[in-house]
Amino acid sequence: MSNPRLRKQQISLGTFPASLRAPADPGWADALRENSPDLSAASPMARWQRNVLVLALLAIPLGFWVDADATAMFIMALLTPAFLCVALLRAAALVDSLRTCAPPPTALPANDDNLPFYSILVPLYREAHMAPVLIAALDRLDWPADRRDILIITEADDAETREAFRVAIVNRPGMRILTVPAGAPRTKPRALMYALPEAVGEFVVVYDAEDEPDPDQLQRAYRRFLAGGPRLGCLQAHLNIYNPHGSWITRQFTLEYTALFDAILPTVERLSLPMPLGGTSNHFRRTVLEASGGWDPYNVTEDADLGIRLARQGWRVSMLDSVTWEEAPDTAAAWFGQRARWLKGWMQTSLVHLRHPRTLWRDLGPRTFFGFNVLMGGVILSALVHPLVYGYALWKVSTGDLSLWPPQGWTAVVWWAGVANLAFAYIVGIALTALATLRRHDARLAAHALLLPAYWMMISFAAYRAFADLALRPYHWRKTTHTARKQRETGQRP
State the Cα–Cα distance between residues 335 and 289, nearest whole angstrom: 30
Dihedral over Cα of 114, 282, 265, 210: its sign? positive
* Identity at 171, one-letter amino acid code: N
Residue 365's pLDDT band (boundaries 50, 70, 90)? very high
- Residues 6+ positions from 188 with CB-CB distance below 8 Å: 123, 279, 302, 477
pLDDT above 90: residue 155: yes
- The answer to whether residues 165 and 154 touch, using CB atoms and an 8 Å cutoff, is yes
pTM, rounded to two decimals: 0.89
**Domain total in the chain:** 1
Domain containing residue 220: 1-494
pLDDT in tens, 370-413: 999 998 998 899 999 999 888 888 887 888 776 666 667 777 78
pLDDT in tens, 43-68: 889 999 999 999 999 999 999 899 88
Write down the mean pLDDT value for the chain: 88
pLDDT above 90: residue 329: yes
pLDDT in tens, 371-380: 999 989 988 9
State the Cα–Cα distance between residues 480 and 130, nearest whole angstrom: 13
Q: What is the arithmetic mean of pLDDT over 138-163?
A: 95
Q: How many other C-beta atoms are found inside a 10 Å radius of the C-beta of residue 472?
A: 8
- The answer to whether residues 456 and 386 touch, using CB atoms and an 8 Å cutoff, is yes
Residue 348, domain CATH: 3.90.550.10
pLDDT in tens, 20-29: 344 455 566 7
Q: What is the arithmetic mean of pLDDT over 333-344?
A: 95
* Identity at 124, one-letter amino acid code: L
pLDDT in tens, 181-234: 998 899 999 999 999 999 999 999 999 999 999 999 999 999 999 999 999 999
